């Protein structure tokens, strides 16, 4: 079956108390420019709020920006809540200042690729497009 022409739906989320949202806004804009449908949650979202929005908006991807250092709590919590909500097919990805050991631990828990400072927007876009294409054919 050929891939559909359906747009990729991405929820860009900014969890926790971190108020630095420039990167989240930049990536949301780049995703829109790439043809994705983008929902941006705004600042100070709880994992529960993020998952509720993801389910309500029927997204394919949740992309979280975490700069607070709480990545080892926030990513696993959102992943667990997505799974519990029957949204285990949703890709959870994101970025922030995350040590490589933590990146590996999070990926082992089912979190998708995580992007650090200096990553180009095209790298994240390509990753999501490739992931989505694999889902469409499986």
Structure tokens at 113: 């690729």
pLDDT at residue 2, rounded to an integer: 43
pLDDT at position 3: 52
Kindly list the averaged pLDDT for each block of 10 residues, start to end, along the chain of length 138: 76 92 95 98 96 98 96 98 98 96 97 96 98 90
Using DSSP's 3-state secondary structure scheme, residue 11 falls into strand
The pLDDT assigned to 5 comes to 82
Residues 114 and 107 sit within 8 Å (Cβ to Cβ): yes
Structural tokens at position 93: 């990805």
Residue 73 lies in a domain: yes
**pTM, to two decimals:** 0.95
Q: What is the CATH number of the domain that holds 46?
A: 3.40.50.280
Q: Please tell me the total count of domains within the chain.
A: 1
CB of 8 closer than 8 Å to CB of 36 = yes
Determine, yes or no, domain membership for 2: no
pLDDT at 43: 95
Residue 112 forms part of a structural domain: yes
Which residues in 5-42 are b (16+ Cβ under 10 Å) and which e?
eeebbbbbbbbbebeebebbeebbebbeebebebbbbe
């Amino acid at each position: 079956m050929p891939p559909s022409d359906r747009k990729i739906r991405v929820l860009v989320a900014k969890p926790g108390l971190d108020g630095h949202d420039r990167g989240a806004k930049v990536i949301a804009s780049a995703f829109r420019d790439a043809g994705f449908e983008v929902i941006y949650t705004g600042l100070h979202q709880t994992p529960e709020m993020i998952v509720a929005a993801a389910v309500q908006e029927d997204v394919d991807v949740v992309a979280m920006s975490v700069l607070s250092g709480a990545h080892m709590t926030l990513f696993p919590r959102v992943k667990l809540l997505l799974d519990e909500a029957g949204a285990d097919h949703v890709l959870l990805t994101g970025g922030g200042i995350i040590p490589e050991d933590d990146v590996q631990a999070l990926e082992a828990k089912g979190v998708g690729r995580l992007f650090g400072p200096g990553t180009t927007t095209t790298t994240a876009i390509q990753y999501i497009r490739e992931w989505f294409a694999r889902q469409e054919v499986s």
